[in-house]
Structure 1
Amino acid sequence: MIVEIKQNYNELSYYTALMIAEYVGRKPDCIMCLAAGNTPVGTLRYLVQMAQEQKVDFGTCRFVGLDEWVGMDKTSDGSAQETLYQEFFSPLSIRPSQIHFFEALSDDLQSECKRIDDYIATEGPIDLMLLGLGVNGHLGLNEPGVDFDSGSHVTELSQTTVTVGQKYFKQRQELTGGITLGIRQIMESETVILIASGKNKADAVYRLQHGEVTNELPASILQRHTNCFVILDQDAAETELPGN
């Protein structure tokens, strides 16, 4: 695990975008997984700017969705897909054939898990994965207690995720579950970039780096990834646990 600390969120976002652009330059047909959420938005906006300036070309990349709230799709305000379409896919006119997402409105979510698992098994593994970090240490919607050998699965959301997740919506949403890539697919990815910003992430960041590897903090498994980069801003990189 290589840890980089940047002065602020803007520097974190630009640095991460540069890393991704350089990777795509080396492997233009890569399979990429981009987290949604608030933290990746700055990175996505820099990537759009770089592509519009013809510094990177995503025309032959393929994109696999990381996760989604059950019952939502790209038209749902606050959904993962809505964020990625608004901030990345639509501005760059990414073709639908390049995008492989869970259909979280499906009546058969287990079939959706199998469909995405089969795609990754056939075409993958994922080359480059951009992850955020939950305050409870989750990756995607892999909640505390997750099986580290899991593939794509439907997950019961922790109360922390239900509470924190409200920030994505204009009005309160009843979040009934999630569908997500599994820890196994994260660990099989060739390169993982995890980004974290803000003091509210400092506890999880500290435990990610210095704690034991445990499924009670899913992100701790990244200690065992062979090519993982953790990019932090100063607020997220506090060297001691809050209160110590």
Structure 2
Amino acid sequence: MILQKFPDHDTLSQHTAEHIAELIIQKPNALLCLASGDTPIETYHRFVDLVKAGKVDISQCTFVGLDEWVGFGPDDFGSCSYYVFRDLFNPLQLRPDQIHVFDAKASDLAAECAKIDAVIRANGGLDLLLVGMGMNGHIALNEPGTPFNLGCHVSQLAESTITVGQKYFNKETTLTQGITVGLRHLAEAREVILLVSGEKKASKLREALTGPITNEVPASILQTHPNGLVWVDEAAGKLV
């Protein structure tokens, strides 16, 4: 694991966008799994700018959605995939065959987990996993207590996740479960980037990076990853 601090969110975002572009230049058929949420939005906007400027060719890449609220899909405002499509997939004008996301409205969620597991396996594992960290230390929708060896699975959402998740919706929304790429995929990914921004995450980030490696703080798994990159702005990194 390597920790790197950036002076502000804009610098963090530009660096991350350029890094993703460079990875694709080195491996044009890369398999990337990219988070939704507030933190990476500016990274995606800047990455889209690089693609549109002809700096990188994404025509051979494959993209996997990281997670989703059970019962929601790309057309539902507030869903995880809604934002990834809005900020990344649609502006990049990706072909449908380049995109693999969970159908969190499906009647057979276990089959959806098996589907994404199979995509990752067929491509030889993730070349890049880009994630954020929740206020309770979760990674994707791997909540505290989730075993590190799970692949894709359905999770019961923690109360704090349900509360924070309301900010993505325009009205009070019932959230109970998530469907998510598992921490086994993180451990097996060739490279993982954890992006953390903002002072409110500083205390939990310190716990994740300097405390015990435990599934009670899922982000602590980054300590074990040989190519784990923890990139933070000054506010988030003030305690580490």
- Structure 2 letter corresponding to 1:142: N
Q: Could you say which residue in structure 2 is the equivalent of 1:28?
A: 28
Q: Could you say which residue in structure 2 is the equivalent of 1:234?
A: 234
Q: Could you say which residue in structure 1 is the equivalent of 2:148?
A: 148
Matched pairs, number:
240
On the 8 A contact 2:157/2:178 being kept in 1, the answer is yes
Residue ranges of structure 2 left out of the alignment (5+ in a row)? none
Residue ranges of structure 1 left out of the alignment (5+ in a row)? none
Local SS of the residue matching 2:194: strand
Q: What's the offset of the Cα at 1:56?
A: 1.3
- Structure 1 letter corresponding to 2:50: M
- Structure 1 letter corresponding to 2:65: G
Q: Is 1:58 the equivalent of 2:67?
A: no
Local SS of the residue matching 1:43: helix
Local SS of the residue matching 1:72: coil
Deviations 1:141-200, CA, capped at 9 Å, x for gaps: 000000111011000000010001111111111012100011001110000011000011
- Structure 1 letter corresponding to 2:190: E
Q: Could you say which residue in structure 2 is the equivalent of 1:46?
A: 46
Q: Could you say which residue in structure 1 is the equivalent of 2:80?
A: 80
Separation (CA, whole Å) in 2 of partners of 1:172 and 1:90:
27
Q: Could you say which residue in structure 2 is the equivalent of 1:201?
A: 201
Alignment of 1:147-226 (within 5 A): 147-226=147-226
Deviation beyond 6 Å, 4+ runs, structure 1: none
Alignment of 1:95-174 (within 5 A): 95-174=95-174
Separation (CA, whole Å) in 1 of partners of 2:193 and 2:135:
17
Q: What's the offset of the Cα at 1:133?
A: 0.8
Q: Could you say which residue in structure 2 is the equivalent of 1:70?
A: 70
Separation (CA, whole Å) in 2 of partners of 1:200 and 1:239:
11
Separation (CA, whole Å) in 1 of partners of 2:117 and 2:187:
14
Q: Could you say which residue in structure 1 is the equivalent of 2:37?
A: 37
Local SS of the residue matching 1:39: coil
- Structure 2 letter corresponding to 1:44: Y
Q: What's the offset of the Cα at 1:124?
A: 2.5
Percent identity between the two aligned chains: 45
Deviations 1:57-90, CA, capped at 9 Å, x for gaps: 2111001111000011110101111111111111
Please, which moves more after superposition, 116-125 or 49-58? 116-125
Q: Indicate the RMSD between aligned Cα atoms, in angstroms.
A: 0.9
Separation (CA, whole Å) in 2 of partners of 1:213 and 1:152:
21
- Structure 2 letter corresponding to 1:51: V
On the 8 A contact 2:74/2:82 being kept in 1, the answer is yes
- Structure 2 letter corresponding to 1:226: P
Local SS of the residue matching 2:3: strand
- Structure 2 letter corresponding to 1:22: E
Local SS of the residue matching 2:120: helix
Q: What's the offset of the Cα at 1:204?
A: 1.6
Local SS of the residue matching 2:92: coil
Separation (CA, whole Å) in 2 of partners of 1:203 and 1:79:
27
Local SS of the residue matching 1:173: coil
TM-score by length of 1: 0.97
Local SS of the residue matching 1:68: strand
On the 8 A contact 2:203/2:239 being kept in 1, the answer is no
